[in-house]
Amino acid sequence: MKSTRPILLALMIFTITLAATPQAKAFTIADGEFCYRYDITTLQPVGVGSTVFTYSEKIGLWIKINEPSTGVEYRMAWYDPTGAQFRQQEVALVTKTGENWGIVFDSINVAETTAKDKLGVWTVKLLIDRKEETSAQFQIIDYESILQSLSTAVSQIETIQSENNLLKSQNQQQTLQLQQLQTDYATLQSQIGTSSNYQKLQNDYDDLFDDYEDLGRNLGTTRMMMYASVVVAIASVGVAVYFGAIKKS
């Protein structure tokens, strides 16, 4: 009887030690997708997409877990773009029959809730026994704002195209003007001649100017001679009148 006591004591110590030792988690997060729902037969996501509009009905997060742990609590926590928690919900693990994996899924409504007014990037976290294991992000955008931005962009493109066409037209006009100026310049060069032509023209001008000055001088001399002749003639008449008057007296 005494020989069995050490064995029982060692077994109790081993059991207590094993219970106190933290067990390493066996599960792994295999995949995750934002989607509309999942197929209840294949457990695969349906309507995959990480961007939704304000008029979208809902969006959900699908997460695949390999070798999922049983007897633990799974939760999804949703956070809006400001970081405020929008909702936290416990979710059920759905295992794949005959397989060693399962999924968890949770979704929120968008169009019929205040979520539609919280535009931007959202964050969703998976909590297992209140511990965060993984997270993912999606975005809610305003379709009308996108249309308005697109319309504005189209209008700006049209304005740029119109300005570009105007610049092209002005460039063509300037090109034609430049070509005409080049033609006129070439014509002028052909008409101007060489430096010897300039010298000959200058000599001809100098000769013409000398002739003009001589003509002026000759004209002045001729006028003086005409004035002298007139004076002599007047004086002769005056003398004749004077002597005639003497004779009569």
Neighbouring-strand partners of residue 90: 75
| pTM listed for this prediction | 0.55
Q: Does the pLDDT of residue 4 top 50, yes or no?
A: no
pLDDT-wise least confident of 174-183, 191-200, 205-214: 191-200
Q: What's the mean pLDDT in 95-117? A: 96
Q: What is the pLDDT of residue 225?
A: 65
For the chain, the structural domain boundaries read 28-141, 147-192, 195-249
Distance separating alpha carbons of residues 52 and 59, to the nearest angstrom: 7
Q: What is the pLDDT of residue 80?
A: 98
Q: Where are the beta strands (DSSP E) in 12-130?
A: 28-35, 37-38, 45-46, 51-53, 58-66, 74-79, 85-91, 94-95, 101-109, 120-128
Write out pLDDT tens, residues 9-28. 444 444 444 444 444 468 99
Binned at pLDDT 50, 70 and 90, residue 238 comes out as low
Distance separating alpha carbons of residues 5 and 2, to the nearest angstrom: 6
Half-sphere CA count of 135, side-chain side, radius 13 A: 11
Distance separating alpha carbons of residues 78 and 136, to the nearest angstrom: 10
- Counting residues of the chain whose pLDDT is more than 70, the rounded percentage is 75
Q: What is the pLDDT of residue 6?
A: 47
Write out pLDDT tens, residues 198-233. 677 778 778 777 877 777 777 667 666 666 665 556
Q: Does the pLDDT of residue 234 top 90, yes or no?
A: no
Q: What is the pLDDT of residue 233?
A: 63
Superfamily classification of domain 28-141: Macroglobulin (MG2) domain (2.60.40.1930)
Q: What average pLDDT is seen over the chain?
A: 81
Strands 51-53 and 131-141: parallel
Q: What is the pLDDT of residue 144?
A: 83
Backbone angles phi, psi at 133, to 5 degrees: -110, -30
Q: What is the pLDDT of residue 23?
A: 47
- Counting residues of the chain whose pLDDT is more than 90, the rounded percentage is 45
Q: What is the pLDDT of residue 196?
A: 75
